[in-house]
Chain A
Amino acid sequence: MSGIASILNTDLLVATIRLSTPITLAAIGATICERSGIVNIAMEGIMIIGAFFAAVAALYTGNPWIGLLAGVAAGGIFSLIHAVATITFHLDHVVSGAVMNILSFGIVRYLMVMIFGHPGTSDAIPVGLKAYQFAIPGLSKIPVLGPVFFDQTPIVYMSFVLVILTLIFLKKTKTGLHLRAAGEHPLALETIGVSVYKMRYLGVFISGLLSGLAGAYLSIENSISFTEGMANGRGFIALAAMISGGWSAIGSFVAALFFGFADAFQVRMQVFKVLNIPSEIFIIFPYVATVLAVAGLVRKSRPPKADGIDFIIEKEGA
């Protein structure tokens, strides 16, 4: 089994990071969203919107950083549809999320035809964020961990920072506490004079920004063009990562890394032909691993008490 030994190298870990980054970003976003009490299954759709607008902006300005901002902004704005539907209009969260996913396909297909004259794939952007890969002096020289964590592309670094920021935001800040209260006991929060609606809007909006960033990663950092269907279920894997990560930033990050690892591992298993089994087995491996992880860990992980539960303020005289 010398094959297995040669798979386990630094390249595998670098690939793990590459594959898990979009899932990490969407999963920590979803964590914030669900902690505020709004179920979000629309990450897939928001990711597609983010990827599309990032590519379009990068293409027309020639600057991938503007593309990045456009992707994040588009994700945030698009997510507001979910916020308005679920918070203001009290629509069922899952229904709204499902509609969001379908809507995103329609919007993107329509705009593709309008802008590029055809659906499918966009023109290639002149410069991608990959060009801004930089090694942090000193730290990148550490064996194994150096190339994995400290010689990366911009959005990958951002994802590391954002995991920590999310953790601090939820645990240590007053707004974070209020946001969590909106998901655990909204009535109590409203009683102390903090708007549950505001907190929930904030939760959905942050998750939109992060999913948009995940989309931008796919189209302008990992690739140099937008392709319809390029999210390929990553938004749903992020959902699984959030659940098996127990609705916490670190848990989501670890679960996303696990999925990325499973995917990177199966590709290398195919390259090395360690086992002579049909390729389909390899392809489903990361998904099976995710299902098992969710099934195995979900008993221990507890959703916020008021997650998915509508909150209506009874006004006097209404």
Chain B
Amino acid sequence: MSKMTKITVIMLVISMVFAGLIFANGGSETAPAAEKSKVIIGMATDVGGLGDKSFNDGSYQGLLDAKADFGIDARVVESKQQTDYVPNLSGLAEDGAQVVFAVGFLMGDALIEAAENHPDTSFAGIDIFVDPSKAPKNVEGLLFKEQESGYVAGVVAGLLTKKYASASDRLNDDNVVGMVLGMDIPPVERYQAGFYAGVKSVNPDCKVLSVVTGTFTDQAKGKEAALAMIEQGADIIFQIAGLTGLGAINAANEAGVAAIGVDVDQSGVAPDAVITSAIKGITRAVYLTIKADLEGTFEGGGNKVFGINEDTTGISPFNKWDSIVPGDVKAAVQKAIDDLKSGKVVAPASRKEAGYEG
């Protein structure tokens, strides 16, 4: 019996050593020792982690941009599971970080808890809504009008799937487009509602399908969801599902149809298939927030909403599709952006507003 216990302990120690190595690596990557004089800016990623070529990477880039411009000491800690959120955020604050970023909607409660425990540190939560009536003064929510990016991407999809379907072999005449969703959380819903409205604004008869996969890490599920819609004639798949969505883009590529990426320019995943990406200027928002804090204009206790007027929503360049997308579509995109900027068009922020029975 004691032998069994011993082995158990040894195995647990081994696993902890590995866990420790990970943590050390995540920190040391960007944090050379003895930079005490520099301002420390910390960031705790969501479970998807760096390397998602999307959300977390986009946030990290903002940190790197600020590092390049302001010479800050940038530190990143990655969350392996949801129970890591509070320790990671608190740990960064205890390391002396001046601003701590929480990346992702799911970290909302953890962010508030960490902010309450460390009143002298500024906290900012990407995609996290901070309730101004309850939240402590040192925390700010950074929100985006994803519906605007979704809307512009929807205009592209709505026109290409029917009117300009002859532009590429990857498009068909079925007039169907599809969306693959990760978890059904507010930012994802905003993309979805905006995309739906964008498609319908230029192509009222278009059939807009969507599948919720319920996960942000399962490529096989994303692929399956995309294929199920491609079987029904969908020729453009808009992925709003993080790593799950890489499977959706892969499926579209293999099936010979087109895809639209999300959050950052995902053209690199499959250059032939990805028309464009609905982007969210997380990078810029992180950069602007750090800048504001360094200049002493950080405003806590509420939310900052980034939209098309701050150049933080919209779509990425067409890249390989630049020569395929007709000029009329590009003109329509510009018009949609102008209308959103002037307020002539307001993209719906929920399925209910969009009238979409998704």
Within 8 A of A (CB), among B20-57: 21-22, 25-26, 29, 47-53, 56-57
Q: Which residues of B contact A301 (CB under 8 A)?
A: none
- Indicate whether A112 sits within 8 Å of B246 (C-beta atoms), given known contacts A89-B7, A103-B11, A232-B217: no
- A96-B11, A110-B18, A279-B212 given; A230·B3 CB < 8 A: no
Q: Are B78 and A110 in contact (CB under 8 A)?
A: no
- Asked whether any CB of chain B lies closer than 8 Å to the CB of A224, the reply is yes
| Stretch of B139-147, B218-226, B326-334 at the chain-chain interface | B218-226
State which residues 43-73 of B face A: CB under 8 Å: 47-53, 56-57
- Say yes or no: is A314 at the interface (Cβ < 8 Å to chain B): no
Q: How far is B19's CA from A107's CA once the two chains are assembled, in angstroms?
A: 8
Is A109 part of the contact surface with B, judged by Cβ < 8 Å?
Answer: yes
**CB-contacts of A85-116 with B (<8 A):** 85, 89-92, 95-96, 99, 102-103, 105-107, 109-110, 112-114, 116
A130 at the A/B interface (Cβ < 8 Å)? yes
Stretch at the interface among B113-121, B128-136, B227-235, B274-282: B227-235
Which residues of A lie under 8 Å from residue B4 when comparing CB positions? Answer: 89-92
> Is A121 an interface position by the 8 A CB rule?
yes
Contact B3 A89 (CB under 8 A): yes
Within 8 A of A (CB), among B255-309: 269
Q: A43–B162 Cα gap in the complex (Å)? A: 46
Cross-chain contact of A223 among B49, B227, B246 (Cβ < 8 A):
B246
User: A187 on the interface (CB 8 Å rule)?
Assistant: no
Q: Does any Cβ of A come within 8 Å of B167's Cβ?
A: no
Residues B214 and A230 in contact, CB atoms below 8 Å apart: no
B220 A113 Cβ-Cβ under 8 A? no
Is B228 a contact partner of A119 (Cβ separation < 8 A)? no
B84 within 8 A of A: no
Contacts of A172 in B (CB 8 A): none
Number of A-B contacts (CB under 8 A): 154
Residue of B nearest to A260 (CB): B224
Query: Are A99 and B22 CB-contacts (below 8 A) given A224-B250, A267-B211?
Result: no
A191 at the B interface (CB under 8 A): no
Chain A interface main SS type = helix
- Contact call A283/B212, Cβ cutoff below 8 A: yes
What is the interface size of chain A, counting residues whose CB is below 8 A from a CB of the partner?
Answer: 55
Contact A19 B224 (CB under 8 A): yes
Closest residue of chain B to A91, judged by CB? B7
B178 to chain A, nearest CB (A): 8
| B312 within 8 A of partner (CB) | no
In this complex, the member of A19, A119, A120 whose beta carbon has the largest number of chain B beta carbons within 10 angstroms is A120
Q: Which of B47, B184, B220 is A218 in contact with, Cβ under 8 Å?
A: B220
B212 close to A103 (CB less than 8 A): no
Among the 9-residue stretches A65-73, A200-208, A251-259, A268-276, the one with 4 or more Cβ atoms under 8 Å from chain B is A268-276
Report the Cα distance A97→B131, complex, angstroms.
43
Give 1 or 0 for each of A267-301: 1 = CB within 8 Å of chain B CB.
Answer: 11011110010011011000000000000000000
B254 partner residues in chain A, CB cutoff 8 A:
130
Q: Contacts A95-B8, A109-B80; is A267 near B228 (CB within 8 Å)?
A: yes
Which among B7, B220, B254 has the greatest number of chain A C-beta atoms within 10 A? B220
For A113, the closest partner residue in chain B by CB is B25
> Which B residues touch A18, using CB under 8 A?
220, 224
Mark A237-261 against chain B: 1 for CB-CB distance below 8 A, else 0. Answer: 0000000000000000000000000
Q: Does A190 touch B at the CB level, under 8 Å? A: no
**Which of B184, B220, B231 is within 8 Å of A280, CB to CB?**
B184
Of the residues A85, A102, A276, contact of B357 by C-beta under 8 Å: A276
- Find chain B residues with CB under 8 A from A280 CB: 184, 212, 214
Chain B: CB-nearest residue to A88? B7
Instruction: Give the distance in Å from the alpha carbon of A270 to the alpha carbon of B181 in the complex.
Output: 11
Bound together, the chains give a CA A88 to CA B336 distance in angstroms of 68
Can you pick out 7 interface pairs between chain A and chain B where the beta carbons lie within 8 Å of each other? A15-B228, A85-B11, A120-B57, A122-B51, A270-B211, A271-B209, A271-B211
- Which residues on B are within 8 Å of A, measured CB to CB? 3-4, 7-8, 11-12, 14-15, 18-19, 21-22, 25-26, 29, 47-53, 56-57, 78, 80, 178, 181, 184, 209-215, 217-221, 223-225, 227-229, 231-232, 243, 246-247, 250, 254, 269, 357-358
New A-B contacts (7) at CB < 8 Å, excluding given A110-B22, A120-B51, A227-B219: A103-B11, A103-B14, A113-B22, A218-B219, A229-B218, A267-B225, A270-B228
